[in-house]
Each structure stands twice: as structure tokens, then as C-alpha cells.
Amino acid sequence: MSDVPVDGFKRVPNLEVFYFEGNNLQQITPGTFAGLPHLRNIYIPNNKLSRIQEGALAVASDFFQDLVLSGNDISIIEPFAITGISGADLRLDGNSLTVLDEAVFRPLLEDKVSIFLEGNPLSCECDVAWLVTRPDLMAWIADDAACFNGQLLADLDPAMYENLC
């Protein structure tokens, strides 16, 4: 399967778990997960996603726990692509992210979303200064997140980023 219709869940408003592993899904249409107040988990690992567009993963559930996008080829996440997952886990392991865009990730971290980034080729240039200089936000990044060269984000020197960026 390579498509999830935007109205595919309109008749199942009590859906709690969406599991779609190992398919050829290349895009999530904005609004696909709207109107599902009981949704707790979305599992979309090992697909062909490369870009998550604004509104694609807008969730409106007080019970949400896990959003798993591991093992795709995600290199771009647009601002406001992922919303409504306060206090949940966001698994982005094994993707192609090189940059941690502040407009994308700061709102998630401020909503106490735990973000897992292992296996992404993060550049760790000035694009991460906003993050590594804020221990309160870094606390929500999993310890195994690393730069393309293997250096852990947790080991980056905040003072260096304050001076250079």
C-alpha cells in the first residue's frame, strides 16, 4: 500500500492505534488524523516518507503517547507538521535529517515531547545552537542522538555555540 486516503478514518472516530509498517507510503496528506479524539499511537516506520508537510500529523487527542516515524528517509519536516502530541514520544531514528529546524522542534520540546534521533546524519553546525545552549530543551532529546561524525549532541559544548553562532 502506498496511500492512506485523507478521509480514510472519518467513519472510525474511536480509532486508538494506527499501525502501517513496511509499506510504500510516500506522503501523509494533511488532515488524515484529524477528528480522532481517542488516537494514542501512530506507527509508520520503514516506509518511503521523505518530507512531512505542514498539518500532516496534526493530532487532537488528550491520550496521545507515541508517534513512530523511524526507518523512513525523512530529510524535511515543515513547521507545524507535527502538532498535538504534548508529552508523547516522537521517534525519528534512522532517517535523513541533517538539520534540527528550530521552528519545527522547539514547539515540540516546549510541549515536553521526547524526541529520538539516533541514526540521522545531523550536521551539528549553528543550526543546533538554539538547542545545545538550552539544557531545559536538551533534556527532551534522547541521549543517543549524534552528529554525522558520531559525536553525541549531549556532548556538544554550549559555550562554543554561544561564541561562534
pLDDT band at 1 (very low <50, low <70, confident <90, very high): low
Q: Is the separation of the CB atoms in 39 and 64 below 8 Å?
A: yes
Domains defined along the chain, listed by start:
17-164 (3.80.10.10)
Q: How confident is the prediction for the chain on average, in pLDDT?
A: 95
Percent of the chain having pLDDT more than 70? Answer: 99
Q: How far apart are CA 33 and CA 56, in angstroms?
A: 8
13: pLDDT strictly greater than 80: yes
The whole model's pTM is what?
Answer: 0.94
At residue 73, what is the residue type? Answer: D
Q: Is the separation of the CB atoms in 65 and 40 below 8 Å?
A: yes
Three cell numbers, residue 106: 522547539
Nearest to 155 by CA among 163, 164, 146: 146
Residue 114, number of CB atoms within 10 A of its CB: 16
Residues 6+ apart with CB under 8 A from 56: 27, 28, 29, 30, 32, 81, 82
61: pLDDT strictly greater than 90: no
Taking only the tens place, the pLDDT of each residue in 152-161 is 999 999 999 9
96: pLDDT strictly greater than 80: yes
